[in-house]
């Protein structure tokens, strides 16, 4: 035994810890990843142009930037806009305020945004990285100054319970993105493959892998039951649970892969549409 060091065992305070490892790495990567995505997403949505590429050809087929899909309304006069035939509700509404760009993306961005915001995985990521509750395990959490102190998800954050509803809408995007992928394998009605097609095909596959691992879906298709030996429905629910469980164990992986992939696919199609990148494809042969 040698010298002693004064030490208060119950010391509390934001980021106070005895951990010696690099605990800042995970929240740091999350801040970088999510901030990059948010900045790019809003920038891309605000551009309102160059979201479509079909090599200047008309007819069936073309690349649609995923941040702009589905196209509820289209303003054809902007550069790089999709043909009007792709609009679900027709031309851009005349009542749209002039100070907001006529971007189809701004109309639909909230749905996947709220889905990801309320996702059980992303909650872990941003509660740690952005709200410091806690920044890492056994690292001092940010204290709340209000009288009642920390409220978890019982205060304003009770809104997280809408996650299940957002899943229903987010699942529609899988179908929409698969249609966009199908569209991307055609140019003026002729079948072909381009780098953009592969990026647009990977997008719904990764999104589906992410959504099928959702905890709310697992609950709906399997987890709400207690008895799996009760007839055919119980048996189906048990098998569903095993399938969704596989994806659920990889929910974090697919959450990030789908996030990064959609960003790359969107940027790529924007760059191709703007003429900065020459899309390698089979239609030129």
Partner 1 sequence: MTTRKFQIYRGDNKNGELVNFETEVKEGMVVLDAIHKIQAEQANDLAIRWNCKAGKCGSCSMEINGMPKLSCMTRMNEYRKDETIIVTPMKTFPVIKDLVTDVSWNYIQNKRIKPVKLAHECKTENGYVMYQNDVDRVQEFRKCIECYLCQNVCHVLRDHDKKDKFVGPRFMIRVASLEMHPLDTEDRIPELKKEFGSGMCNITKCCTDVCPENINITDNGIIPMKERVVDRFYDPITILGRKIFGKKKKKFPPLSP
Nearer to partner 1, 24 or 164 (CB): 164
Q: Give me the least distance between CB of 141 and partner 1, in Å please.
A: 4
Q: Please, what is the minimum distance in Å from the beta carbon of residue 257 to partner 1?
A: 18
- Contact assessment for residue 166 and residue 114, using Cβ atoms and an 8 Å cutoff: yes
Q: How far is the CB of 252 from partner 1 (least distance, A)?
A: 10
Rounded-to-integer distance, Cα 146 and Cα 155, Å: 12
**Any contact of residue 141 with partner 1 (CB under 8 A)?**
yes
DSSP character for 106? H
Smallest distance, Å, CB 193 to partner 1?
A: 38
Positive or negative, the CA dihedral 50, 63, 81, 260 is: negative
Query: For residues 56 and 149, which CB has a smaller minimum distance to partner 1 in the complex?
Result: 149
Give, as ranges, the residues between 4 and 43 that touch partner 1 (CB under 8 A): 4-10, 12, 17-21
Q: Is 254 left (phi over 0), alpha (psi -120 to 50) or beta?
A: alpha
- Can you spell out the DSSP letters for 141-182? PPPP-STT---TTSSGGGGGGGHHHHHHHHHHHHHHHHHHHH
> Using CB under 8 A as the criterion, which residues of the chain lie in contact with partner 1 when the complex forms?
1-10, 12, 17-21, 120, 123-124, 127-128, 133-134, 136-141, 143-144, 149-154, 157-158, 161-165, 215-216, 218-219, 223-224, 226-231, 234-235, 238, 248-249, 251
């Amino acid at each position: 035994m040698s010298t002693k060091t004064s030490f208060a065992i119950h010391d509390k305070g934001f980021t106070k810890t005895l951990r010696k490892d690099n605990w800042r790495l995970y929240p740091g990567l999350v801040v970088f990843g999510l901030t990059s995505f948010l900045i790019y997403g809003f920038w891309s949505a605000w551009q309102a142009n160059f979201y479509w590429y079909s090599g200047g050809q008309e007819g069936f087929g073309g690349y649609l930037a995923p941040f702009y899909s589905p196209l509820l309304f289209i303003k054809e006069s902007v550069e790089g806009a999709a043909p009007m035939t792709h609009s679900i509700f027709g031309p851009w509404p005349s009542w749209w305020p002039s100070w907001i760009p006529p971007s189809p993306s701004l109309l639909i961005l909230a749905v996947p945004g709220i889905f990801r915001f309320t996702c059980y995985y992303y909650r872990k990521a941003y509660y740690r990285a952005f709200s410091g509750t806690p920044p890492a395990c056994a690292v001092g959490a940010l204290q709340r100054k209000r009288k009642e102190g920390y409220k978890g998800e019982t205060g304003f954050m009770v809104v997280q319970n809408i996650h299940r509803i957002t899943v229903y809408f987010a699942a529609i995007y899988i179908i929409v993105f698969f249609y966009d992928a199908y569209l991307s394998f055609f140019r003026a009605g002729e079948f072909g493959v381009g780098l953009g097609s592969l990026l647009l095909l990977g997008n719904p596959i990764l999104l589906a892998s992410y959504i099928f691992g959702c905890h709310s879906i697992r609950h709906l298709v399997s987890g709400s039951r207690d008895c799996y030996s009760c007839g055919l429905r119980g048996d189906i629910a048990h098998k569903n649970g095993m399938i969704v469980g596989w994806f659920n164990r990889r929910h974090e992986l697919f959450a990030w892969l789908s996030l990064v992939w959609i960003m790359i696919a969107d940027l790529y199609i924007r760059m191709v549409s703007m003429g900065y990148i020459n899309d390698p494809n089979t239609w030129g042969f």
